[in-house]
Amino acid sequence: MDLYLLLHSVVMHAMAAMVVLVYIPLSIPVKLFIWALVKPFRKEDLRGKVVLITGASSGIGEELAYQYAEKGACLALVARRKHALEAVAESARERGAPEVIVLVADVSDAEESRRAVEETVSHFGKLNHLVANAGIWANGCFDEITNITAFTKMMDVNFWGSVYPTYYALPHLKASGGKLVVCSSAAGTVATSRMSLYNATKAAQIRFYETLRSELGTDVGVTILTPGYVVSEITQGKAIQKDGELAVNEEWRDAQVGVFPVGRVETLCEIALDSIRKGDRYLTWPSLYRPPELIACIAPEVLDWICYKLYNTRNGGRSLGQRIVEATGVRRLYPAALRRPLIIKKETRDGEDADSNV
Ligand X SMILES: NC(=O)c1ccc[n+]([C@@H]2O[C@H](COP(=O)([O-])OP(=O)(O)OC[C@H]3O[C@@H](n4cnc5c(N)ncnc54)[C@H](OP(=O)(O)O)[C@@H]3O)[C@@H](O)[C@H]2O)c1
Rounded Cα distance, 250 and 243, in Å? 16
Rounded Cα distance, 283 and 231, in Å? 17
Rounded Cα distance, 351 and 338, in Å? 26
Q: Indicate if 334 belongs to the active site.
A: no
Q: Does 149 bind ligand NAG (CB under 6 A)?
A: yes
Strands annotated E in 23-63: 50-54
66, 198, 311, 334: which is the annotated catalytic residue? 198
Cis peptide before 286 (omega within 30 of 0): yes
Q: Contacting ligand NAG (CB under 6 A), which of 11, 24, 45, 147?
A: 147
Residue 162 interacts with which of ligand X, ligand NAG, none, CB < 5 to 8 Å by class: none
Nearest approach, Cβ of residue 229 and ligand X (Å): 4
Q: Does 108 bind ligand NAG (CB under 6 A)?
A: no
Residue 57 interacts with which of ligand NAG, ligand X, none, CB < 5 to 8 Å by class: ligand X
Q: Does 155 bind ligand NAG (CB under 6 A)?
A: no
Q: Does 244 bind ligand NAG (CB under 6 A)?
A: yes
User: What are the CA-CA distances from residue 104 to residues 57, 75, 131, 354, 357 (Å)?
Assistant: 10, 14, 16, 15, 12
> Looking at beta carbons only, is 193 or 235 nearer to ligand X?
235
One character per residue 143-182, x = contact with ligand X (rule: CB under 6 A): --------------xx--x---------------------
The string of DSSP letters for 131-166 reads EE-----B-S-GGG-S-GGGGHHHHIIIIIHHHHHH
Q: Are 50 and 76 in contact (CB under 8 A)?
A: yes
Q: Provide the 10 A C-beta neighbour count for residue 293.
A: 16
Q: Contacting ligand X (CB under 6 A), which of 46, 79, 97, 127?
A: 79
Nearest approach, Cβ of residue 282 and ligand NAG (Å): 13
One character per residue 166-195, x = contact with ligand NAG (rule: CB under 6 A): ----------------------xxxx----
Q: Count residues contacting ligand NAG (CB under 6 A)?
A: 11
Q: Does 292 bind ligand X (CB under 6 A)?
A: no
Q: What are phi and psi of 304, to 5 degrees?
A: -55, -45
Among 153, 162, 110, which residue's Cα sits nearest to residue 134? 162
Rounded Cα distance, 208 and 354, in Å? 35
The footprint of ligand X (CB under 6 A) covers 54-61, 79-81, 84, 106-108, 133-137, 157-158, 161, 183, 185, 227, 229-230, 232-235, 238
By the criterion CB under 6 A, which residues form the site for ligand NAG?
Answer: 147, 149-150, 188-191, 196, 199, 203, 244
Q: What positions carry a catalytic annotation? A: 198
